[in-house]
Amino acid sequence: MKNIIVLSLISILLWGSGCTEQNKLSVPSLSPNPTDNSQELSVEPTAIPLPSATPAPIVTQVTLGAVGDILIHNRVYEDAKKPDGSYSFNKMFTLVKDILQKPDILVANQESMTGGTELGLSSYPMFNSPHEIGDALKDAGVDFVTMANNHTMDKKEKGILSALAYWDKIGMPHTGAYKSQADRDTIRTMTQNDITFSFLAYTYGTNGIPVPKDKPYLVNLIQEDLMKKDIERAKKLGDVTVVSLHWGIEYQIEPNAEQLRIAKLLADWGVDIIIGTHPHVLQPSAWIKNASGHKTFVMYSLGNFISAQSELLQWIGGMGTITIVKTQVGDKSTIDLVQPTFTPTFTYSKKYKGFQIIPMAQLDNQHLANAKQQLYKTKLHMRKYIPDLIYP
């Protein structure tokens, strides 16, 4: 029995000796500088992509203004004549100059051709006005003139070319009448505050005076195919398309069916602003929304800004404005039209002497009987389709 116990003890001792030397557990080295030839594992940090930041919107705005017919009857240019035989119309705009200089861009319809004295001055029914009316308009704050109207051909091609030359001489941009086909095909643009405007102008006719068949470019007529092509080109050149239309029926205070039809047509084509002239009296402005939701601002008629016509409503005109807001986000932009305004004006003279354009808000009963009541009626009339129309 003892022999068995001894043998068992010897076996246990031998087994323990084997565990401590021959079968010892090998633990991998965690030393930062291993001495063996194994390759060190390199772990690169992985960047987590972040969503790209949306560019901050860039917002700019421009106020565009427009006045109606500049219709220089003989009584007006005779009142402007100086002792030396030249003409100065500047004093006629003195009381509205501050108002006219408020818009960033101001458009006027030069209805009587400014062919100058060399072609012989004339009045109704076939007008020709002194060049100097252009100087007065520029001094007063007008930035752009339209020339497509029923009197464009009154002095034929010579009158147009003389007028164009003078506008170019004084640096006044213009559209609606042209010296060549290439000139006509060049759409006029203006840029203010990173907003580009394209300008077009058309007239219903030329009082029966034919436009030469070989020179159709002399004046733009309201022809739908022509207008649509021009508008398509204009929209590609600018952010805002402005179309001046000489249309409607004289002395009617509401737009007629044809005006409404054409305005809707242009709105459907994406025109932004329509400036209406010809009726010689005020017609209310309006908004038109097309099927895609695009809004067009229409000034159906701005009346006469200056003339020597003889009836009360023909003495009342004014300046309409609209503010254009451009929002640029990255390479995309949107245009909004906001804050339409209207400032009524009155052409005052005393027995056709001392012509002055006066803001109606400044009139008293010496200028016009019941002046405040007439101002109230004018505001009410112009707000007919835009109840929130602003009167600055």
> How does pLDDT run across 349-385, given as a tens digit for each residue?
999 999 999 999 999 999 999 999 999 999 999 999 9
Quick: pLDDT tens for 209-245: 999 999 999 999 999 999 999 999 999 999 999 999 9
- Please, which contacts does 375-382 make with residues 24 or more away whose CB atoms are closer than 8 Å? 375/344, 378/282, 378/316, 378/318, 378/344, 379/342, 379/344, 381/253, 381/282, 381/284, 382/282, 382/284, 382/285, 382/318, 382/342, 382/344
11 has a pLDDT exceeding 50: no
* pTM summary value: 0.87
Instruction: Report residue 158 as tokens.
Output: 């010579």
Answer left, alpha or beta for residue 116, where phi above 0 means left and psi between -120 and 50 means alpha: left
Find where tokens 């084997």 sit: 18
Q: Which H helix or E strand runs over 297?
A: strand 295-302
pLDDT of residue 115: 98
Strands in 295-302's sheet, in edge-to-edge order, are 188-192, 195-203, 240-246, 273-277, 295-302, 282-289
Give the pLDDT band (50/70/90) at residue 246. very high
- Neighbour-count burial of 68, counting CB atoms closer than 10 A to its CB (0-12 exposed, 13-18 middle, 19+ buried): buried
pLDDT of residue 47: 64
Q: Hey, what's the torsion of the CAs at 347, 102, 285, 281, to 10 degrees?
A: 10
Domains and CATH numbers, the chain: 59-382 (3.60.21.10)
pLDDT of residue 8: 38
Quick: pLDDT tens for 205-218: 999 999 999 999 99
pLDDT of residue 53: 73
Distance, in Å, from the CA atom of 364 to the CA atom of 229, rounded to the nearest integer, reads 49
pLDDT of residue 46: 64
Mean pLDDT of the chain: 91
Distance, in Å, from the CA atom of 303 to the CA atom of 280, rounded to the nearest integer, reads 4
* Mean pLDDT for the stretch of residues 298-320: 98
Distance, in Å, from the CA atom of 78 to the CA atom of 19, rounded to the nearest integer, reads 130
Quick: pLDDT tens for 115-168: 999 999 999 999 999 999 999 999 999 999 999 999 999 999 999 999 999 999
2 has a pLDDT exceeding 60: no
Beta strands in 23-175 (DSSP E): 58-70, 105-110, 144-146, 174-175
pLDDT of residue 43: 54
Q: Give the three-class secondary structure for 17.
A: helix
Classify the C-alpha dihedral 70-75-78-80 as positive or negative. Answer: negative
pLDDT of residue 26: 39
pLDDT of residue 23: 38
* Mean pLDDT for the stretch of residues 185-197: 98
pLDDT of residue 54: 80
Quick: pLDDT tens for 21-60: 333 333 334 344 444 444 444 556 666 666 667 889 999 9
